[in-house]
Structure 1
Amino acid sequence: MEDVPVVVGAGLAGLMTALQLAPQRVIVLAKTPLGEGAASAWSQGGIAAALSDDDSPELHANDTMAVADGLGDPMVAARITSAGPGAVAMLQRLGVPFDLDVRGRPALGLEAAHSRRRIAHVTGDGTGAAIMRAVIAAVRATPSIIVLEGFEARRLLVDDGRIAGVLAVGPAGARLLPARRIVLATGGLGGLFAQTTNPLGSIGQGIALAARAGAVLADMEFVQFHPTALDVAHDPMPLVSEAVRGEGAVLIDETGTRFMQGQGRAELEPRDVVSRAVAKHRANGHRVFLDTRPSLGVDFGKRFPTIAAHCRAGDIDPATMPIPVAPAAHFHMGGIAVDLDGRTTVEGLWACGETAATGLHGANRLASNSLLEAAVMASRVARSVATTAARSTPSPRPVALPPTPDASAIRRLVGETLGIVRDGNGLLKAIDRLEPLAFSSDPTADPALVALFIARAALQREESRGGHWRSDFPQRSARWARHQMQRLDPSRTSVVSTWSTDHDSLSPAHAHA
């Protein structure tokens, strides 16, 4: 039987991997119809790349490393930022209509912690949607890509330590797909939290699939909370892009006080700093608003039409009213440990996009580096998959079908205990509640397992760094300038083992150190 690679996930990372594999045949499993359910399409700010005359990939890498708070991999940052201009050019060739300046070059925005304007965007805040439209059109036009829409991966099959296939559920029921080469590109895990900007289906399913197949995970404790989600009782919460603050919007409270003024770069501090400041101000009894009136005024709707539409749906007029905002789970810096080509510790398994931990983001992601990472790593993963010798695929074995994953029962617990500010008692409570669920046959099992990895890593990291903040260990510790690697014990039924490495790289070559 022909060994056809399978890509699990149909966001930017998954579809770009499939495109880069052409003309080799590839199967893409899309849980929802193409264009729906993928966080890539929700990305507002844009894609970061050194495109201006006063910028360089080196400066971009330096900014990336500074925000990563001591845990970024300099080699990974250099490789990915150097590929940034090429990634933007590739997307333009696919038909992405980036906004252009008077010279016909991409118009560049500024976002927090960037030292230069380097955010390429489409219609101000519609970048992700525009990129996905172009990529989906290219996928539809590529005969070698077989898209199975409505198919959700439930388990990876492993034979003698190697990937052997995937058990999926589609419109006609369960289906076993034999495969020796599988790419996980399933997105993030924000849907585990009670307040999130992610699609509610983003519950870390790729991480659960990889972990139950024996893969090593890295830096699971580092979750980024976006400081400005629209606070109008929507679930998920619409994002108010960081680009709005880049254009001069400021954070105020109900009294009109600009409470971040005088703190470093104020509203343009890294996301973890701004999120904690907003959370603290709200905890002290204040409401928090993003005031765009002095900087953008009546031009807000023209500059940010997507956000303006979300505001109108919540009876907010940004031209005349401040926008109510609150922090929400937004991006996961950790994930499945991979090397520079996206290979995991399980032979025949790759991971790409937010579900992977490449080392680019470290403890905290630089704004708009996520689309960049997805596009660049998709090319590297595709090249690695294509050059890996095909093997004969095994005959499918009967496998018990797990239930449809459902995180609804744990979202409140996760939000309360694994949120912006954590402490030992809360983390122990989370572990106590999550552990029996994670190893049950309940629909909550896979989401609970992912949350359990986060909780255990957060409990062990007795410091505050990047997206991980412990109120009982509020200082950064030099002793903890290292990665945490995790996996299930050999039985994969009850125990999570955790260990640390002092290596700079998250490469699986170091995963058994």
Structure 2
Amino acid sequence: MPTDPFRSQSFNGVDDILIVGGGLAGLFCALKLAPRPVTVLAAAPIGQGASSAWAQGGIAAAMSPGDTVDRHVADTLAAGAGIVDEAMARMMVAEGPARIEDLLRYGVPFDRDLEGKLLLSREAAHSERRIVRVRGDMAGRAIMEALIAAVRATPSIRVLEGYAVEDLLREGPSITGVVARAHGGRAKVRVAFAARAVVLCSGGVGHLYAVTTNPHEACGQGVGMAARAGAIIADPEFVQFHPTAIDLGRDPAPLATEALRGDGAQLINRDGHRFMLDLHPDGELAPRDVVARGVFAEVAAGRGAFLDCRTAIGAHFADLFPTVHASCLSAGLDPATMPIPVVPAAHYHMGGVLTDASGRTSVDGLWAAGEVASTGVHGANRLASNSLLEAVVFAARIADALSGTLPAPSARGPGWPAGESDDPVTPVDSTALGTLRQLMSAHVGVIRNKDGLISAIRALQALERRTPRLRFANILTTAKMMAAAALAREESRGGHYRSDCPEPRAAWQHRSLLTLAEAETILADAAESRAA
């Protein structure tokens, strides 16, 4: 059962700081704020609905003797395809080692060598071994387990599990709280919470696509809520498709970590041909968008794509990559002796709610961190394992910024009824959401073009007319922002690939910044052009 929202915990009649989301960014921010009172609202038990817990590779940090901040920044800039905010990336990379030390203090059991030093591995597009891991592919789970234990032992943190936030409260120019439903969003009665600051850590957008590695909760509601509240959304067209989701027909799709290719696994088609060598000099270690399109092309051509770990990893697979090993065995596939069938899957959103270096959004009282935010450090294509780094660095910076005095909210209590609604969330996809996921995969996916995007826009507008529910409105808003930005960007760059504009253009070497009103104008013009 959800925690009683009306239970007082010396919060003086109002929540001081409200964090939406129980993933890495949310929990880390709460811990860094201690002993300042904070409430965490999570739709699922903390950690269970978060992509952070599923992260396999680890956290990138320039901590080896031969590595430097400059080298890590250079790799980040190269992967980001020309639109990384270099100042933000440099700040993130410079603060990375200190955040790793924080995680160690919270009890994260990062791998160490025989001398007790952190064991560092390499992933695609990194020039150095700088990935801090836990048992090969268990970093996300281990980090979340340690943080959950630390959060539950911290008296200043109140955790309300089972509360799905579906709207932001706004008074004048400022966000002053949220509206949520208990029982994972299935309750009819809604509850409002006032707060001096709302920190949005609600995760990504992967579940907007038919094939994704993300949990069901990652359906873009945070971006949609913020956009509807007037926040600027940055780079929504840039979606990273992980090239090696395990093709078992599951939703979400299990992930075959990037680290497998870092350790020598090769991509082959059904004929045994190593096709990535035809597409990029780095082969399997090319940037993710290049590998994703390579795998997509092989699958689309009927040749299939497989990750061959037999020679490079072989008999050591179970010990080195237990999570992937278990996923394969559950489908009757032994990855030590059999190639793993793979397919691209929506994995990470480089776009999100625009923030500054302290995590502030363009709307007063609203802050954001983690995948829901867009800080500019990823540009058009995230460098592997920079996402967890970004989450902890910017969560800590939000905590630092919130250490000052905040404006007082309205004199409401810590939770009060906000009316009833017949639009509760169901535990499975609605028909409308299933339709949306197919649309996004078909037309706003790995490969896009103008005609497909316009078709998707018209279909999204039709869905909007038929489905007025608030939860779906948030999801649909995010999808519309992504489609509008993808249509406007008439080039190919990083995670955004247009088959009708296959090359990058100098005129588009900048970030996309959109309000919902601006996106609606793009959508309306597109619909009219199609109709004409």
Question: TM-score with structure 2 length normalisation?
Answer: 0.90
Q: 1:437, CA displacement in angstroms?
A: 3.3
Please tell me the residue identity of whatever aligns with 1:98.
F
**Which residue number corresponds to residue 228 of structure 2?**
212
Q: 1:147, CA displacement in angstroms?
A: 0.3
**Which residue number corresponds to residue 505 of structure 1?**
none
Q: How does 1:232-381 map to 2 (within 5 A)?
A: 232-261=248-277, 263-381=280-398
Cα distance in structure 1, aligned partners of 2:30 and 2:236: 27
SS at match of 2:243: strand
Cα 1:260–1:495 shift into 2, 3 Å: closer
Cα distance in structure 1, aligned partners of 2:396 and 2:177: 23
Cα 1:163–1:496 shift into 2, 3 Å: farther
Cα 1:181–1:214 shift into 2, 3 Å: same
Please tell me the residue identity of whatever aligns with 2:229.
A
SS at match of 1:410: helix
Q: How does 1:9-408 map to 2 (within 5 A)?
A: 9-171=21-183, 173-261=189-277, 263-395=280-412, 401=421, 403-404=423-424, 407-408=433-434
CA contact (8 A) 1:250 1:290 kept: yes
CA deviations on 1:39-76 (whole Å, 9 max, x unpaired) are 10000000000111000121111100110001100101
Matched, 1:432 2:449: no
**Which residue number corresponds to residue 486 of structure 1?**
514
CA deviations on 1:101-156 (whole Å, 9 max, x unpaired) are 12211111110000000001001100000000000000000000000000010110
Q: 1:402, CA displacement in angstroms?
A: 8.0
RMSD: 1.7
Q: 1:438, CA displacement in angstroms?
A: 4.0
Cα distance in structure 1, aligned partners of 2:242 and 2:445: 12
Cα 1:386–1:234 shift into 2, 3 Å: same
CA contact (8 A) 2:224 2:476 kept: no
**Which residue number corresponds to residue 506 of structure 1?**
none
Please tell me the residue identity of whatever aligns with 2:258.
E
Q: 1:424, CA displacement in angstroms?
A: 0.6
Q: 1:19, CA displacement in angstroms?
A: 0.7
Q: How many residues align?
A: 495
- Unmatched tracts of structure 2, length 5 or more: 1-12, 524-532
SS at match of 1:4: strand
Q: 2:441 aligns with which of 415, 421, 424?
A: 415
CA contact (8 A) 2:269 2:305 kept: yes
Q: 1:300, CA displacement in angstroms?
A: 0.8
Cα distance in structure 2, aligned partners of 1:157 and 1:311: 45
Q: 1:157, CA displacement in angstroms?
A: 0.8
Please tell me the residue identity of whatever aligns with 1:419.
G
Q: 1:495 aligns with which of 520, 529, 532?
A: 520
CA contact (8 A) 1:438 1:447 kept: no
Cα distance in structure 1, aligned partners of 2:15 and 2:119: 43
SS at match of 1:386: coil
Cα distance in structure 1, aligned partners of 2:521 and 2:43: 28
Q: 1:390, CA displacement in angstroms?
A: 3.4
Cα distance in structure 2, aligned partners of 1:34 and 1:397: 23
SS at match of 2:378: coil
Please tell me the residue identity of whatever aligns with 1:11.
G
**Which residue number corresponds to residue 529 of structure 2?**
none
Cα distance in structure 1, aligned partners of 2:38 and 2:422: 25
Cα 1:316–1:222 shift into 2, 3 Å: same
Cα distance in structure 2, aligned partners of 1:357 and 1:331: 12
SS at match of 2:454: helix
Cα distance in structure 1, aligned partners of 2:237 and 2:407: 36
Cα distance in structure 2, aligned partners of 1:214 and 1:394: 24
- Unmatched tracts of structure 1, length 5 or more: 499-513
Please tell me the residue identity of whatever aligns with 1:340.
A
Please tell me the residue identity of whatever aligns with 1:189.
V
Q: 1:217, CA displacement in angstroms?
A: 0.3
CA contact (8 A) 1:3 1:393 kept: no
Cα 1:402–1:377 shift into 2, 3 Å: farther
Cα distance in structure 1, aligned partners of 2:417 and 2:250: 43
CA contact (8 A) 1:487 1:496 kept: no
Q: 1:213, CA displacement in angstroms?
A: 1.0
SS at match of 2:434: coil
Q: 1:261, CA displacement in angstroms?
A: 2.0
Structure with more helix by fraction: 2
Q: 1:465 aligns with which of 493, 500, 517?
A: 493
**Percent identity over paired residues:** 49
Cα 1:341–1:66 shift into 2, 3 Å: same
**Which residue number corresponds to residue 477 of structure 2?**
449
CA contact (8 A) 1:64 1:361 kept: yes
SS at match of 1:444: helix
CA contact (8 A) 2:43 2:164 kept: yes
Cα distance in structure 2, aligned partners of 1:156 and 1:284: 45
Cα 1:438–1:382 shift into 2, 3 Å: farther
Q: 1:497, CA displacement in angstroms?
A: 6.2
Please tell me the residue identity of whatever aligns with 1:234.
R
SS at match of 1:237: coil
CA contact (8 A) 2:190 2:420 kept: no
